[in-house]
Structure 1
């Protein structure tokens, strides 16, 4: 993400995107439920008004279109007041649209119940035709606005966020061609005395569902994929640190973590990382520079690079420290001032390197936890 977009995004309301996402998901689900013939029939029967499910569905679709715009505005972020004004304008515009849909339905004559083809059956009926065109135009306006915002924002960002924006535009294109164009074509065909109803009743619904799925992927991918990848990597790092932990755990005095299946892979990795650093600190008095220097010279003679040679030498020094600590041997000589590479770098990469090298170094069996004698220094 560019510096500009990060700075703009940082000023956004902290809970705006999350709340907008939940609203969009709920409204999208309600639209598909409301548009089902069984739901339409039940709504008509409960209200006693033929086709009352139509303005309900159109209103929900308009609210869903508005929620996508609001979500995108909140997601992009920016100055708090600017975001607030943009959200209020979108909500106000679509609130007026929904009221207009209800008024037009009330003024029209829709006494014949139509559960699947209301758009085309009433395409030429006074007031009802305006209602049908108005809800389609409202949905089209939201699609165009989203694409314009995605195109503008897409020039400022890279990576997963840019991929998400492209998916949103792909969903918008599917919706425009698969839902909106087919609906417009079927309605206009009725105006000219032709019958292309299958476009509206058979083609539009599944393509609208596909477009909604791609929309969701575009919004969800940049938010959920990074933490999912982080947890997946945590699982791998936790496993790769296993050999190192099994050899030095006897030296750790870190408190045991609370047991429970609800602990995430990242939590487990963080605890293991802390416990390993605690064990390395306890073993530091046993570090012998002479062992490390001999191992370093041997690694260099074997043709290993400076970094690989250093890690191999530190693994050998750690192996020697583990051997002597496990049998309660007293440290000999002054404590080493050398710092392990694994303790100088953030994250687990350094520990994983050390674990890999240590796995190739012969070690004696260790003893129970917490048995390393503490020494000053």
Structure 2
């Protein structure tokens, strides 16, 4: 059991580090900070509840079962962090968000204080690492402590489900998916963890033994529910960034033909991009170099080449939008061909520089379309061989 619990705790820790990858920015953003705190406390709940950890804490403090109020306090803090995270995620006026967060902190601080106080008043000399909830279900003060932490965590789950249900009706897309994952995780938590624990405790009150629900079903349900909740909170924050990086990989590769064509154009020297850059950063560097090369070609761009290429593309059946990029690519290829010549460049001639703007595309999608036209058009290939200039003359 400890291995399973530690594995879940490690997953939570890794997720928290992933969200908290930029500490300075994260601390300035209440939503990111509360997300990290919530995920970290979720992992700490599982770490503290492992029998190995409980035994070590009991031995260290020399207080039998001291790990129980510690774990219950962490669970209560985790419940509070979920509500605070939901408050920050929902947003609104800063004063209202702060006021609601203070209320949650106050309530769960009282719960934690009560848990510790009840444990101090209770008589629980026998160390129980796996079945404390049921073993001490009829012990004064321990009974109240157990019920208190379960009710506090259950109330948090039900409130969060209610808020997420209402909110999910107002939003769409990845945010709705995240809210549904949170509701699914909390539903598993309420039915699997809370339900199993309370049923086992109530069975002890009635003189029956259903401890297997508390020691077997409840921990597994808690792990599954917590992982679903963490995914629901993290997915809307990380998935858009991950998709942006993935799209950057494809855009970077799509710009390869254009960069290969312009690589030999003399420009101001630029430092090589760091190797640790993510795909989005590498795409930025490639776009920057391409735009620098296009600017360097402005005196060589010939509007006659563009016009001839446009007419050829239209004659081949290309729609106006596609023909526009084909013509611009032909003009860029012709200018790059001139730039690679060892002798002085030819004059662009009439209509040259006033067409330069057609070759300058600051938007990534337009640069990609330009690169695809350059790589796949027979008209551009003709310009590369110099046939377009002849037709234009």
Aligned to 1:9: none
The one of 369, 382, 388 equivalent to 1:353 is: 369
Output the CA distance in 2 between the equivalents of 1:340 and 1:176: 62
Conserved? CA contact 2:273–2:282, under 8 Å: no
Alignment of 1:252-331 (within 5 A): 252-327=266-341, 328-331=344-347
Q: Separation in 1 of the partners of 2:106 and 2:370? A: 60
Distance 1:22 1:324 in 2: 56
Aligned positions of 1:1-377 closer than 5 A: 14-327=28-341, 328-334=344-350, 335-341=352-358, 343-344=360-361, 346-360=362-376, 361-362=380-381
The 2-side partners of 1:128 and 1:47 are apart by 19
After superposition, what is the alpha-carbon deviation per residue over 1:114-154, rounded to whole angstroms, capped at 9, x for unaligned? 11001111111111111111100000111011112212322
Residues 254, 275 of structure 1: 8 Å contact kept? no
Q: CA deviation at 1:25?
A: 2.1
Q: Deviations over 1:93-125 (max 9, x none)?
A: 000001111111122211111110011111111
Which structure features the higher share of helix residues? 2
Please give the per-residue CA displacement for 1:255-296, whole angstroms capped at 9, x wherever unaligned.
323443222221111121121111112212222222222221
TM-score (norm 2): 0.85
Query: How far is the alpha carbon of 1:342 from its aligned partner?
Result: 6.0
Residues 79 and 342 of structure 1: is their aligned pair in 2 closer, same or farther, counting only changes over 3 Å?
farther
Q: Tell me, yes or no, if the aligned pair for 2:328 and 2:359 is still in contact at 8 Å.
A: no
Provide Cα deviations, 1:313-345, integer angstroms capped at 9, x if missing partner: 22222222222221143224133312555635x
Q: Distance in 2 between matches of 1:121 and 1:227?
A: 48
Q: 1:50 is paired with a residue of what secondary structure? A: coil
1:142-169 deviations in whole A, cap 9, x for unaligned? Answer: 1011112212322332221121111111
Asked if structure 2 preserves the Cα contact closer than 8 Å seen for 1:238 and 1:269, the reply is yes
SS at match of 1:290: helix
Task: Mark the CA change 1:339 to 1:156 in structure 2 (over 3 Å): closer, same or farther.
Answer: farther
**In structure 2, C-alpha distance between the alignment counterparts of 1:342 and 1:213, rounded to whole Å:** 50
| Secondary structure at 1:195 match in 2 | coil
Paired residues of 1:105 and 1:131 also in contact (CA < 8 A): yes
Structure 1, 92-101 or 21-30: larger mean CA deviation: 21-30
Q: Distance in 2 between matches of 1:319 and 1:342?
A: 10
Give the TM-score of the pair, scaled to structure 1. 0.89
RMSD over equivalenced CA pairs, Å: 1.8
Change (3 A) 1:173 1:341: farther
CA contact (8 A) 2:254 2:368 kept: yes
Moved more, 147-156 or 61-70: 147-156
Distance in 1 separating the partners of 2:340 and 2:45: 66
How far, CA to CA, are the matches of 2:250 and 2:257 in structure 1? Answer: 13
Structure 2 unaligned regions, length at least 5: 1-26, 386-393
User: 1:26/1:228 Cα in 2 relative to 1: closer, same or farther (>3 Å)?
Assistant: same
1:253, CA displacement in angstroms?
A: 1.6
**Contact 1:343 1:350 survives alignment (8 Å):** no
